[in-house]
Structures are given as structure tokens and as C-alpha cells.
Amino acid sequence: MIEFDHVNKHYGAHHVLRDITMTVSRGEVVVVCGPSGSGKSTLIKCVNALESYQSGHILVEGVDVKSKARSAAALRQRVGMVFQNFELYPHLSVIDNICIAQRVVLKRHAGEARERAWRLLDRVGLRDKAAAYPMNLSGGQQQRIAIARALALDPEIMLFDEPTSALDPEMINEVLDVMTALAADGMTMMVVTHEMGFARRVASRVVFMDKGEVVEDCSTTEFFNDTKSRADRTRQFLDKILSH
Amino acid sequence: MPDLSFIARNASFLFDGLLLSLTLTAAGVIGGLAVGIALVLVRLFTGVVGNCVVDAYVFVFRAIPLILVIFWFYFMVPLILGRPVGAWTSAIVAFTLFEGAYYSEILRAGLKSVRAGQMHAALAGGMNRAQALRYVIFPQAITAMIPIFLTQAIILFQDTSLVFVVSLHDFLTATTIIANRDGRLVETYASACLVYYLICLAATAGVDRLKRTFAR
Amino acid sequence: MNYQWNWSLLLDEPYAGWLLAGLGWTVALSVVGWVIALPLGTAIGIARTSSSRWLRVLSGFYVSVFRNIPLLLQMFVWFFVVPELLPDRLGLWFKRDLPNPEFWTAALALAFYTSGRLAELFRAGLQAVPRGQVMAADATGMSRPQALRHVIMPQALRIILPPLTSEFLSIVKNSSLALTIGVLELTAQSRQIENFTFHGFEAFGAATAFYMLVALILNLVMVSLRRTLTLPVAV
């Protein structure tokens, strides 16, 4: 579904992504973790062409991200994204946030878009907030709306860029619950997160990145249980984030 | 190539005009700053009534066109002093009081830009309001204000051209006189545009550099 | 100070009529200038934030020209110089056949001058919208114009609304410069009444009152616009 083939990216002298090669299959949930500055956010933003890269290839559903055969807009209809800071549109109500891309990108009729929005609001449990504005919602509610907004275009793949790291602790679970349900429905997901509990329960694979390279890429059970086979940096990282 | 020798012939006349524009600008900046500081002090130390008076002053001067202000003082200053004073004096009075309104608002915004916690900390440390302003607030506000002061001075430099309406020979008026006398409208006005453009562009670039220095 | 007050003369003909006619020209200049300046300034402001380098340079030059030359000089250039540079027949039409040439040149000068200022305002407003918003719009497959139209501009407009209304007040005030090329707008009329009657206080006072009225109305408009546009916040 997503294939990375020797992907390299530089920011001036800074080598942000080093020779990334891996595959995400249909229905897989891949958790990407690593210290800050390890390139994990950049990596998933390359998948929907929000970031560019200098060499190598990324294929999404078999088509190169940079291919002229498919526009960036067409690619992004297939790949939904959820941001760390939600990035809901503050000037639009919740329901309009979910409808706007359906209207202008997919050219759906208002009624059709709204019907889809209502179903998604049910799915994230926020039907009663349809008329509210983002700034009146809690962080957890905003992030659930952001997930609904991304799902409104019926994507095949969902990218999550640290979806819970801007949230107060008591709101993290409501968002992870929505993501867990999504995974159970068979959505292909790449999730940048430090929520190791979520990774353990939901992920099919865990990728650990450091300094722009993939250090580990293995099944969830291997990652957490077979700690002897893990690299030193992985163990150090896990010790740090699991110590309390 | 158009013949521009007539500009060279009139260089000293034009230069005197430019000098008058720059002098008026300097007078407006200095006088306006003095009035602006006075207005802000009134705001800070006289309570509600003082604030209302300053609000009204600022509102009036920002609501009416500068030309009308110039007319007002051209007509009123001699009347108040009881003797004719000429366009120059009345123009300086007009620019001083007009710019004072704008400068007081820049000062106020600059002081406001310093976080309220700083004033509280200074008061809690035993300073009085005047000391807090002098030693804590003002030093922090000044770097934010200086570039805006200078930008306002560039606007003022352009605005001094309005003394045209009371026949003071500033740069634009001098240009107009020559343009009409020599019948060379196109070349004369084009040159004047270039002079103003280059002066303001250089000044703006200077202000930008200053801003970057402060930002470091 | 020795002065004979006579406020009632403002109600006498022809002075009352002059003032009202002046107010009419002031409003007409401001509105015509604004109607041209707003779309022009918006377009140039968008070009200032464009990803194309030459569009940025070109629009930057446009803004710097109209902002670094005094409006009065710009007005003289439009009035005295531009008709000379136009093709003969167009120049002749401009000078001879265009009804109210002073009015139209003044409105044009005001429009271009104001468009430069509005462009800077729009540039600042567009750049003040957080980058994440642009990314979110991109991520849902919106094109550049779609993102601008539905996501970025609505937020930028809310940010620049207060300075935008004060720009309108500026064009009203700046329209007074039209008196130098012979448009009998409000300030010109009050000056003329002063000339005829030597009652400067009353004449300039009336003009001042009108300008203050315009400023007050604009303040009210801004407050109510702000109220309708401000996004509801939970109490």
C-alpha cells in the first residue's frame, strides 16, 4: 500500500531522512516512534507530499508520490492526515469543518456532505457538537473532529502526526479509542506517537527512528518482548519513556 | 535622452525646497514626540478625566485630514496671537500637534506591549509607578517603539508636501513652480518622484536594518 | 482674541449647499477609490505571498512605488503627466472630453495609492494565519486557490478587519488632497467659505464635524462587523 524505497531528504547540510526503505501493507497499523528530531514527522508528511524528498521513491497504492500521473490533490484525497495541533478551521463550525473539503475538493452536494458528516460525528461520538466552533471544544474533542474531517474524504490510508501530544492527559484516551476503533475497521494507518500502550495493543508493527534512519522495523510482539535483539539506542529510548 | 539641464540650472532652488521639507520633518518629529510624551504622561498619572481628554484629542486629530489641520492653524494661530505669523510658524504648530496624537498612540502601544507581570514585579519590588516606568517598562518598550517612530517620520516626510496648500516652498512646491515655469511637467515631476522614492526607500531600508539589529 | 461668532451663516445659502456638495464629493471620491483599491490591493497582497519569485518581486515593486511617493505628488502625476504620456487620442480624450476629469484623476490616484497600502495589509494578514492551517487544507486535497478562498482568506480578513476600517477612514481623509487639482470636496468648500466670509472657525468647524461624524460611523460599523464576524467563544 505504501512503499518507501531508499528515500533521502536533506535540509541544507542536515540529513533528515537516511535511506528509508520499508513497506506498509493494506490494513496494517504502523507506529513510528523515536526521539524528537529523528525525522518521523517528516517521514509521514512525505507520504502525502506535504514534505518533499531528494532521492528515492515513495509509492502509494502503486503510484509514485511525485508521479505526474496523479496530482498532489488526488493523492491527498486517498490519504487522510491528523495533526498534532488539530488545525481545525477556527472560522467554521464543526459540521462545516467536516464538509468543506467534501464540497470543494470532491464537489459533493451539500446534503450528501452533511449526511456523511453526521455519520462521522456519530462515529467519533460528537453528534451534539455539530454546530459548535472549534475554540469551544476541548482538545480531545477537537482532535476527534479532526479525525472525522480527515475521514470525510473516504481515504484508504490515515496518517497521524503525534495526535495526542498536545492533549491534557485526561483527554488522550478518548482520541486513542477512536483510533483503535478505526484500526479495528481495517484502516491502513501510520501513527507517529509515544503512546506505547497504544502501540502494544493496536499496532501490527513498530518502527523506531533515530537521526533520520530506521533503527528498528519489526512486529509489535518482537519490539516489546524480544528486548535482547533490540539495538542499544532503542532500549535507551524505551527506558526513558517507559520509566514512570 | 530628454534634456535635463534645466534641472541642474534650478538645483539650488530645488535643494532649498528639499531642505525645507527635511526641516519640517525634523520639527514635526521633535515637537510631535514632545506632545506625544506629554499626552501619555497625562494618561498615566491623571486618571479617568485625563484619559478622556487625551482620547478626545487623539480622536479629533486622527479623524480629520492633515490639510484641514494645516488650514485650521494657518487661520487660527494669527488670530490667537493677535498678529500675522506666516505659513512657516503655523505649519510647524500644525505638524507638532497633529503628529503628537499619532506619537502618543505609538508610545501607548509600546508601553502596553510590555507584559503586565513586569509592572507587578517592579511594584512588588518596592518601586513606585514612576520608577517602574523609568527603570523597568520603558527600557523594554523602547526597542519596540523606535522602528515605528522612524516609520512614522518617513510618513511625515511625505506629508510635509501638503504645505503646498499654504504656499510654503517645500520640495514638491518648488518642483511644481519649476515645472510650470519651464513648461517641462513630465521630466520635472518624474525627477521629483525619483527623489522622494529613493529617499523613502533608503530610509525604510535603514529602519528594517535597525529592526533586525534589535531583534537579535 | 477678538472674534465675531456667527454659526448661523452655515445654514445660509449658498454656504449650506456648498458644504453638502463638498461632503458629497468627499464620499464619492472615497467610495470610488475604495471600490477600485480593494480588489487591486487584495490581488497584489496575494501576489506578495505567492510562491513564484517574480510575482513577489513585481508586487513588491508595485507596493514600494505607491508607498514611497507622496500622495500629493502622485495626484499631480496622474493629472499633469499621465495624459501627456498616453497615446495622443486617449490623452486628448482624458484632457478634453472626459466629464469631471479632476474627479476621475483624483479617484484614480487615491485608488492606486490606497491599493499599495491595502496590499501590505493583506500580505500581513495572510502571513499571520498559522502555517498549520495551510498544511491542513493541503492535506485534504485543496488546491492553492481553494485553500486561499475557504481557509486562509476568511481568517486573514478577521485579523485585518480593524486596520481595514481605519484604511477606509484614511481614504476619506486623503480624498481632501483632491482639492489641489480642483475638486471641490469638503475641505475645499470649507476653505472657500472661510475665504468668502472670514469666518474660519465656523467653516472649518463644520468640515471637522463632518469628518468626525464619518469616523464615528466607521467606528460603529467596525464594532458591529466585529461582533458578527467574531467567532463565538464559550462563556
Identify the CATH number of the domain in which residue B147 sits. Answer: 1.10.3720.10
CA–CA gap between residue A223 and residue A206 (Å, rounded): 7
pLDDT at A243: 65
CA–CA gap between residue A17 and residue A34 (Å, rounded): 13
Percent of chain B with pLDDT over 90: 55
C-beta neighbour count of B93 within 10 angstroms: 21
Give strand pairing partners of A213.
A210
Question: How many structural domains is chain B composed of?
Answer: 1
Burial-class residue C28 by CB neighbours within 10 Å (0-12, 13-18, 19+).
middle
Is residue C29 helix, strand or coil?
helix
pLDDT at C234: 47
Min CA distance, C160 vs chain A (Å)? 14
Section B75-89 average pLDDT: 84
Q: What is the DSSP string of A199-226?
A: HHHH-SEEEEEETTEEEEEEEHHHHHH-
Which of B121-135, B139-153, B162-176, C113-127 bottoms out in mean pLDDT, i.e. has the lowest? B121-135
Section C10-30 average pLDDT: 89
Section C173-183 average pLDDT: 94
Lookup result for grid cell 517620520: B153
pLDDT at C196: 86
Give strand pairing partners of A20.
A7
Query: C77, B189: Cβ pair inside 8 Å?
Result: yes
Alpha helices in B10-137 (DSSP H): 11-45, 47-63, 66-81, 86-112, 116-124, 129-131
| Position with higher pLDDT, A113 vs B5 | A113
Please name the residues between 157 and 216 in chain A that touch chain C, using a CB distance below 8 Å.
none
pLDDT of residue B45 exceeding 70: yes
CA distances from A31 to A49, A90, B64 (A): 19, 29, 63
pLDDT in tens, C160-173: 998 999 999 999 99
pLDDT at C74: 96
B215 touches C at CB < 8 Å: no
Amino acid, res. B55: D
CA–CA gap between residue C188 and residue C26 (Å, rounded): 10
Section C164-193 average pLDDT: 93
Q: Are A78 and A70 in contact (CB under 8 A)?
A: no
- What grid cell was written down for A218? 519489526
pLDDT at B132: 83
Nearest chain B residue to C82 by CA distance is: B186
pLDDT at C2: 67
- Mean residue pLDDT of chain C comes to 90
Burial-class residue B216 by CB neighbours within 10 Å (0-12, 13-18, 19+).
exposed
pLDDT of residue B58 exceeding 90: yes
In a domain, B118, yes or no: yes
CA–CA gap between residue A120 and residue A125 (Å, rounded): 8
| Position with higher pLDDT, C95 vs B198 | B198
CA–CA gap between residue B118 and residue B114 (Å, rounded): 7
Which of A124-128, A141-145, B55-59, B212-216 bottoms out in mean pLDDT, i.e. has the lowest? B212-216
In chain C, what are the domain boundaries?
33-164, 184-235
Is residue C187 helix, strand or coil?
helix
| Position with higher pLDDT, A72 vs B34 | B34
> Which residues on chain C are in Cβ contact (under 8 Å) with B60?
208, 212
pLDDT of residue B137 exceeding 90: no
The single-letter DSSP state of residue C232 is P
Give strand pairing partners of A158.
A80, A189
Min CA distance, B116 vs chain C (Å)? 23
Nearest chain B residue to C76 by CA distance is: B189
Q: Phi, psi (5° rounding) for residue B184?
A: -115, 60
Query: B158, C65: Cβ pair inside 8 Å?
Result: no
Q: Name all chains with 3 or more CB-CB pairs below 8 Å to chain C.
A: A, B
Q: Phi, psi (5° rounding) for residue C70?
A: -55, 140
CA–CA gap between residue C150 and residue A104 (Å, rounded): 9
Per-residue pLDDT of chain A (244 residues; tens, 9 = 90+): 899 999 999 988 889 999 999 999 999 999 999 988 889 999 999 998 889 999 999 999 989 988 888 888 888 889 999 999 999 999 899 999 999 989 888 899 999 999 999 999 999 999 999 999 999 999 999 999 999 999 999 999 999 999 999 999 999 999 999 999 999 999 999 999 999 999 999 999 999 999 999 999 999 988 888 888 888 888 888 888 876 5
CA–CA gap between residue C6 and residue C199 (Å, rounded): 8
* Residue A74 CB contacts under 8 Å (≥ 6 apart), including other chains: C141
Q: Closest partner residue to A136 among C130, C143, C234, by Cβ?
A: C234
Q: Closest partner residue to B64 among C194, C201, C208, by Cβ?
A: C208
Task: Give the homologous superfamily in CATH for domain C33-164.
Answer: MetI-like (1.10.3720.10)
pLDDT of residue C233 exceeding 70: no
Instruction: Give Cα A37 distance to the centre of its chain.
Output: 17
Query: C81, B165: Cβ pair inside 8 Å?
Result: no
Say whether the C–A interface has 3 or more Cβ pairs within 8 Å: yes
Q: Is the pTM of the predicted complex or chain greater than 0.90?
A: no
CA–CA gap between residue A80 and residue C6 (Å, rounded): 74
pLDDT in tens, C34-89: 999 999 999 999 999 998 999 999 999 999 999 999 999 999 999 988 888 888 77
Q: Are B99 and B35 in contact (CB under 8 A)?
A: yes
In a domain, B45, yes or no: yes
pLDDT of residue C235 exceeding 60: no
Handedness of CA A43, A1, C136, C145 (dihedral sign): positive
Q: What is the DSSP string of B104-173?
A: HHHHHHHHHTS-HHHHHHHHHTT--HHHIIIIIIHHHHHHHHHHHHHHHHHHHHHHGGGGGGGT---HHH
A149 touches C at CB < 8 Å: yes
Alpha helices in C86-199 (DSSP H): 88-92, 101-128, 131-139, 144-147, 153-174, 186-197
> Which residues on chain C are in Cβ contact (under 8 Å) with B162?
72, 177
Q: Name all chains with 3 or more CB-CB pairs below 8 Å to chain B.
A: C
Nearest chain C residue to B83 by CA distance is: C1
Q: Which domain holds residue B138?
A: 12-215
Widest CA span in chain B: 72
B179 touches C at CB < 8 Å: yes
Q: Are A233 and A39 in contact (CB under 8 A)?
A: no
Element (H, E) at A3: strand A2-11
Section B26-44 average pLDDT: 94
